A and B are shown apart, each in its own frame.
Chain A
Amino acid sequence: MDTILRIKDFSLSFKGKKILDNINMSVSKGEILAVVGESGSGKSMLARSVLGLNSPDVFDIKGKIFFDDRDINSLPEKELTKIRGAKIGMVFQEPLSYLNPVIKMASQLTEPLNKHKKINKRKAAQLMEDFLRKLNINDPLQYMKSYPHQLSGGMAQRGVIAMNSSCEPELIIADEPTSSIDVIVQYSIIKLIKDLARLQGTSVIFITHDLQLAAKIADRVAVISKGRIVEEGDVQEVLKNPRTNETAQLLNACIAERAQETGVKRKALLEIRDLRMHFKSGNNINRALDGVSLTVYEGETLGILGESGCGKSTLSRIITRIQRPTSGKVLFEGTDIFSIKDYSKIVQMIFQDSITSMNPQMRIEDIVAEGIDILYGKSRQERTKDVIECLKRVGLDKSIKDRFPHQLSGGQRQRVGIARALITNPKILICDEPTSYLDTVSQKHMLDLFMKLKNEINLTYIFITHNIRILGNISDRIAVMHKGRIVEIGTRDEIVFNPVHPYTKMLIDASIKDEDYFAESLFQTDDSACNSCGCKYHALCKRAAEKCRQESPALISIEGEHFVACHLF
């Protein structure tokens, strides 16, 4: 097997800080190698180094990268421009920020053909159009005439992939190409890359943070952590027998079955009825929440599972009265929350980004005490006493109260956020992705803290995240949200081990081998199909019936507390 890329003892430093440390890696002709690591592990810098995009004026480079037996770092810029785009192609994460907003797609997509293969613009455009048509883009002519912002992320990314393949490169580097795209579209893009690569015999370096995703496309995988390659090998092998801690952490942890307490009569604390939130922007209506109904029971931990854009943040803002809904009601113990006087004392919230959730000009003491300052009028000493007590409850020493947010670690800041929310002794705590900016160790500590508090104060949690692993570990019930609606809701076991709705299934990742669940038309539809008619997934679902096209399904019960929005049940 020919080796087309060999990275030998490669190190990259910036101002003394090591970004890549002694990387050794090789890619053979026609193979797909996945490079998997958490954010900050250096994987993107590795990709850019292969293309020689990291200038030796700015970075400290050691070691060699051999492409076709030539060292990239010793080649002059003139030679490098002949390799880039022609022999090595690159697909970036967010197509809409990596495409020039003021140039039409036709111009941008034909540049490599024009520059490297010396094909004139008109002919190149014709070739690209044919190519796009093969990729199931319906109207390639219109596509080429458009500007990037007129296309959705998935559509644009397909064009970029087509552009990269147009010069038949030996190697394509894909740097998180689907990370900001809806999971339904993700798989079609992955499949596209894989199929094209196999067809043209191109090698692929696929960079991602998602090991499961890597398994679907790659032959081999290299795990990178803190600038070092910690594990390498056949992808199925690594998945089954991870040899290092870092790899194990990247995998979904095992979620054990748990005995549920059934039949316990619980009090309904919060009742959400047909909540809708519509934003008008120009001529568009953005339906952030499109008819959400939910009940939250005392003492439970309700998980809300969904990706960004599903409406979970909007939901949390309405429940905490930060925003008013377009229509629908939220009732607390039977009364409309917007008419309860001291509601803010009862329901509180913890935010995702601990940096932006705290005023950088304020000291910790003032941040934690804000609730008291606004809602009560306590004396200085009482206030300080309350603050110290709250800090203790979340495991922080009282000396922290005089510091500023930027002086604390991420984990400490999040605890302060919890302390702030607890100062008014609330009954319900809404946690909006509180752990997504923490490393795995801190995450575990945070979840332990949540459990401890729950037991101590009998808090009711609404826990919002896109991370199934976390919900699997702490929630009693899970509701799955997508595009402003709840598509499925049930107990934790039901959702994790027996998901029914196609979207849930994709998220849970349990039975994705069932690819035939989705029709071939997956390539054509990008974002939701018709918004106003029928089930949003009718164009995607193979089992779609006529009724699915016409009527939007309500949540119907399958079994006990397990509800799903689908006509087929």
Chain B
Amino acid sequence: MLFSIKTTVRTVLKSKLAWAGAVILIVIAVMAIAAPAFSPFDGYSHDTDSIFLKPMSKGHWFGTDEFGRDLFVRVWQGARISLAIGILAAIIQMVIGTLYGGMSGLFGGTVDEVMMRLADALYSIPDLILVVLITMAMGNSCFSVILALSVTGWTSTARVVRGQTLMLKEMDFVRAAKAFGAGRWYIMFKHILPNCRGQILVSLMLNVPSAVFAESTLSFLGLGIKPPDASWGTLVNEGFKYSNITYHPWVIFLPLFFIAITMISLNILGDEFKKALDSKH
């Protein structure tokens, strides 16, 4: 039951898979931040002389799209948006989920029942539909997408935290605090949540890929981030709309490739953390 970040990270680092995943993610993150600055192109200006150039031609490392926009820059700008949305949404989900689950578990009884039924009801509504409705109502900005994703994704964290809380509630150290007259909030923040750190961290690590998953699917359908801003999903969508996969596959496959390896790396890392956490019990 003892959770220390140090030992968990050490266990994770022993795994070669985790290393691979972490390295890939770090490279992508660095490129997302720095790469656009190193290119002479800006990813927005149209250049009708240079449409649909193959990768590595005329200084365009990733080629160009239907408007002659440099794909290298666009992909890394897309990375910024995809990752930022994913991470922010995951963090918000973590906060909401932890507080909700913790309160539900701690209060127990009817409060718990009602809260969990509400969460279950929300959980059973398909994410995609809910997100689409929210973005329809609030527009397609990054902000509304993050909001929409946060509203739908917190339930799994809440469930995990609630489970831990229910178990921790029966621990004698909670009873000892109660014997001293401790109130609910003291117990929640001093005893329960600190002992949920492991689960919360793993939850966070697995929320990021699911947020990226949802956002990219949304944008792919044309319902998320809209051009000229583009997340990776939007780039794939544009690729489908304006290019022919048989003649210029790179327009579609480049962003697709990055989505794929990012998702796989995030999941591998999250999985390794989960295994490290479980192995201690």
**A interface list, Cβ under 8 A from B:** 317, 320-322, 343-344, 348-349, 351-353, 356-361, 367, 370-371, 374-375, 404, 406, 420, 424
The chain A residue sitting closest to B176, CB to CB, is A357
The chain A residue sitting closest to B1, CB to CB, is A360
**B195 on the A face (CB < 8 A):** yes
Contact between chains at B194 and A344 (CB < 8 Å): no
Contact between chains at A349 and B176 (CB < 8 Å): yes
The chain B residue sitting closest to A357, CB to CB, is B172
**Binary contact readout B149-192 vs A (1 if CB under 8 angstroms, 0 otherwise):** 00000000000000000000001110111111110001000110
Q: Given the interface contacts A344-B181, A359-B194, does A370 sit within 8 Å of B176 by beta carbon? A: yes
The chain B residue sitting closest to A351, CB to CB, is B172
Of the candidates A322, A356, A404, the one whose C-beta lies within 8 Å of that of B179 is A322
9 A-B residue pairs with CB within 8 Å: A317-B175, A322-B175, A344-B180, A349-B175, A351-B175, A358-B176, A359-B191, A370-B180, A375-B180
User: Quick one: which of B2, B181, B186, B190 has the most chain A CB within 10 A?
Assistant: B181
Contact between chains at A374 and B177 (CB < 8 Å): yes
Contact between chains at A344 and B179 (CB < 8 Å): yes
Contact between chains at A359 and B178 (CB < 8 Å): no
In the complex, chain A residues whose CB is within 8 Å of the CB of B2: 360-361, 404, 406
Contact between chains at A349 and B179 (CB < 8 Å): yes
Q: Give the complex CA separation of A349 and B186 in angstroms.
A: 19
Q: Give the complex CA separation of A370 and B179 in angstroms.
A: 11
The chain A residue sitting closest to B192, CB to CB, is A359
Contact between chains at A361 and B194 (CB < 8 Å): yes
B170 to chain A, nearest CB (A): 9
**A-B complex: 3 closest residue pairs judged by Cβ atoms:** A357-B172, A351-B172, A344-B181
A342 to chain B, nearest CB (A): 9
Q: Given the interface contacts A344-B181, A374-B186, A375-B181, does A361 sit within 8 Å of B175 by beta carbon? A: no
Contact between chains at B181 and A370 (CB < 8 Å): no
Q: Given the interface contacts A361-B194, A374-B186, A406-B2, does A356 sit within 8 Å of B172 by beta carbon? A: yes
A85 to chain B, nearest CB (A): 32
Q: Give the complex CA separation of A530 and B191 in angstroms.
A: 42
A456 to chain B, nearest CB (A): 22
Q: Give the complex CA separation of A375 and B176 in angstroms.
A: 13
Of the candidates A321, A351, A361, A406, the one whose C-beta lies within 8 Å of that of B176 is A351
A369 to chain B, nearest CB (A): 11
Of the candidates A352, A375, A424, the one whose C-beta lies within 8 Å of that of B172 is A352
Q: Given the interface contacts A370-B177, A420-B176, does A360 sit within 8 Å of B182 by beta carbon? A: no
A319 to chain B, nearest CB (A): 10
B241 to chain A, nearest CB (A): 52
Q: Give the complex CA separation of A404 and B1 in angstroms.
A: 13
Q: Give the complex CA separation of A351 and B176 in angstroms.
A: 8
Q: Give the complex CA separation of A321 and B190 in angstroms.
A: 20
Q: Give the complex CA separation of A359 and B180 in angstroms.
A: 15
Of the candidates B179, B181, B195, the one whose C-beta lies within 8 Å of that of A359 is B195
Contact between chains at B179 and A321 (CB < 8 Å): yes
Q: Give the complex CA separation of A352 and B170 in angstroms.
A: 13
Known: A356-B173, A359-B190, A361-B3. 8 other contacts (CB 8 A): A321-B179, A349-B176, A351-B175, A358-B173, A360-B195, A361-B194, A374-B181, A374-B186
A350 to chain B, nearest CB (A): 9
In the complex, chain A residues whose CB is within 8 Å of the CB of B175: 317, 322, 349, 351, 357
In the complex, chain B residues whose CB is within 8 Å of the CB of A352: 172
User: Quick one: which of B2, B3, B186 has the most chain A CB within 10 A?
Assistant: B2
Contact between chains at A353 and B172 (CB < 8 Å): yes
A534 to chain B, nearest CB (A): 34
In the complex, chain B residues whose CB is within 8 Å of the CB of A322: 175, 178-179
Q: Give the complex CA separation of A546 and B175 in angstroms.
A: 44
Q: Give the complex CA separation of A344 and B191 in angstroms.
A: 19
The chain A residue sitting closest to B194, CB to CB, is A361
**Binary contact readout B1-13 vs A (1 if CB under 8 angstroms, 0 otherwise):** 1110000000000
The chain A residue sitting closest to B183, CB to CB, is A374
Q: Give the complex CA separation of A321 and B178 in angstroms.
A: 8
In the complex, chain A residues whose CB is within 8 Å of the CB of B179: 320-322, 344, 348-349
B5 to chain A, nearest CB (A): 11
Contact between chains at A371 and B195 (CB < 8 Å): no
In the complex, chain A residues whose CB is within 8 Å of the CB of B180: 344, 370-371, 374-375, 424
Q: Give the complex CA separation of A348 and B76 in angstroms.
A: 62
Q: Give the complex CA separation of A367 and B194 in angstroms.
A: 14
Q: Give the complex CA separation of A429 and B181 in angstroms.
A: 16
In the complex, chain B residues whose CB is within 8 Å of the CB of A317: 175
A353 to chain B, nearest CB (A): 6
**B40-58: which residues lie under 8 A (CB-CB) from chain A?**
none
B177 to chain A, nearest CB (A): 6
The chain B residue sitting closest to A354, CB to CB, is B172
A430 to chain B, nearest CB (A): 9
The chain B residue sitting closest to A430, CB to CB, is B179
In the complex, chain B residues whose CB is within 8 Å of the CB of A321: 178-179, 181
Q: Give the complex CA separation of A322 and B173 in angstroms.
A: 12
Q: Give the complex CA separation of A406 and B3 in angstroms.
A: 12
User: Quick one: which of B175, B177, B186 has the most chain A CB within 10 A?
Assistant: B175
B187 to chain A, nearest CB (A): 10
Q: Give the complex CA separation of A347 and B194 in angstroms.
A: 28
User: Quick one: which of A349, A361, A367 has the most chain B CB within 10 A?
Assistant: A361
A469 to chain B, nearest CB (A): 24
A425 to chain B, nearest CB (A): 13
A114 to chain B, nearest CB (A): 37
Q: Give the complex CA separation of A370 and B182 in angstroms.
A: 9
B24 to chain A, nearest CB (A): 33
User: Quick one: which of B176, B178, B182, B195 has the most chain A CB within 10 A?
Assistant: B176
B102 to chain A, nearest CB (A): 15
A326 to chain B, nearest CB (A): 15
In the complex, chain A residues whose CB is within 8 Å of the CB of B182: 374
In the complex, chain A residues whose CB is within 8 Å of the CB of B171: 356-357
A459 to chain B, nearest CB (A): 16
The chain B residue sitting closest to A342, CB to CB, is B181
In the complex, chain B residues whose CB is within 8 Å of the CB of A370: 176-177, 180
In the complex, chain B residues whose CB is within 8 Å of the CB of A424: 180
Q: Give the complex CA separation of A357 and B190 in angstroms.
A: 14
Q: Give the complex CA separation of A493 and B3 in angstroms.
A: 48
B90 to chain A, nearest CB (A): 24
Q: Give the complex CA separation of A360 and B168 in angstroms.
A: 12
A487 to chain B, nearest CB (A): 27
In the complex, chain B residues whose CB is within 8 Å of the CB of A343: 181
In the complex, chain A residues whose CB is within 8 Å of the CB of B194: 359, 361
In the complex, chain B residues whose CB is within 8 Å of the CB of A361: 2-3, 194-195
In the complex, chain A residues whose CB is within 8 Å of the CB of B186: 374
The chain B residue sitting closest to A361, CB to CB, is B194
In the complex, chain A residues whose CB is within 8 Å of the CB of B195: 359-361
B188 to chain A, nearest CB (A): 13
